[in-house]
Amino acid sequence: MNRPTRTLRKPISNTKEKLTFYVTMIVSTTLCLCMLAMVGAFLLGLWAKEVENGLIFALIGPAFQTIVGGMIGFLSGVKLMQGDDKSKSCKD
């Protein structure tokens, strides 16, 4: 069989691009871990006999929305600023 050859990615040469990539990956990983922990807390709260379901959602819901909103805002800000060049000069 003829397998298609896979083209390699260009190495990231710019320090700013490397930093942006690593920060984006760390933020994405943190978001995934937070979401897994919160979903786990939701599931444990749903089946716990001692806790009312309404209380679990009232306590964890705002934190869930805050973390998701903050992380999405951060990631979109990084994406929007990715092509921004600080060396542009202003005309006086």
pLDDT digit string, tens, across residues 32-67: 898 898 888 778 878 888 877 777 778 778 888 888
pLDDT (average), residues 65-73: 85
pLDDT for the residue 92: 47
What per-residue confidence (pLDDT) applies to 61?
A: 80
- Locate tokens 């490397």: which residue? 18
Structure confidence at residue 85 (pLDDT): 61
Q: What one-character-per-residue DSSP string does 25-77 give?
A: HHHHHHHHHHHHHHHHHHHHHHH-SSS-HHHHHHHHHHHHHHHHHHHHHHHHH
Question: How many C-beta atoms surround the C-beta of residue 33 within 10 A?
Answer: 10
Give the integer Cα–Cα distance in Å for 92 and 84.
21
**Residue 49: what pLDDT?**
82
DSSP code of residue 48: -
